[in-house]
Amino acid sequence: MKTTILSLITVLGVAFVGLSACAKDSRTESLPEGSRQTSAMTGNEQVVKLEVTADGFVPASFKVRAGQPVKLIVTRKVERTCATDIVIKELKISAPLPLHKAVELNFTLDKPGKVRFACAMDMIAGEIVVE
Ligand SMILES: [Cu+2]
């Protein structure tokens, strides 16, 4: 019994490593030549982490660069909140935010300016500053 569990863990571990290797490969391949050196971390992609806490969206304001892909990772940390969804009207994005589950939103904002995001009822809100 013990060995079965151990081998299962090993299989899962290998599968996980395999998956993340695949993800890494495809991302590297999709990048145009030359951009690999300019940004060592994640290519041109901008990764922003957003949380829903008792204070609402945290941070309520963050900056991104225009014309470059954004990976917004939103995690709702509190059970009692109005913000069980995130809505970004300008991008026609509306996504449920399950408790303690990281939700990934991928988009690119081309024009500099401010883009509002909010809960489904548009009460708790924040803004993306595009520069
Ligand atoms: Cu709300």
- Answer for the pair 87, 127: CB distance below 8 angstroms, yes or no: no
112: which 2 tokens? 């500099």
108 Cα: distance to centroid of ligand 1 (angstroms): 25
Q: Is residue 35 part of a domain?
A: no
Average pLDDT over residues 2-22: 43
- Owner of token pair 């041109």: 44
Average pLDDT over residues 73-86: 97
125 Cα: distance to centroid of ligand 1 (angstroms): 8
pLDDT at 86 over 80: yes
How far is Cα 129 from Cα 114, in angstroms, rounded to an integer? Answer: 5
Ion ligand 1 residues within 5 Å by Cβ: 82, 119, 121, 123
Q: How confident is the model at residue 37 (pLDDT cuts 50, 70, 90)?
A: very low
Average pLDDT over residues 79-85: 97
Q: What is each CA distance from 106 to 5, 10, 80, in whole angstroms?
A: 37, 32, 26
Q: Is residue 74 part of a domain?
A: yes
Q: Is residue 36 part of a domain?
A: no
Identify whether residues 55 and 114 lie together within a single domain. yes
How far is Cα 65 from Cα 72, in angstroms, rounded to an integer? Answer: 13
Give percent above pLDDT 90 in the chain.
Answer: 66
55 Cα: distance to centroid of ligand 1 (angstroms): 13
Identify whether residues 65 and 124 lie together within a single domain. yes
Q: How many domains does the chain have?
A: 2
79 Cα: distance to centroid of ligand 1 (angstroms): 13
pLDDT for 43: 65
Q: Are strands 56-58 and 61-64 parallel, antiparallel or unpaired?
A: unpaired
For residue 18, the enclosing domain spans: 1-30
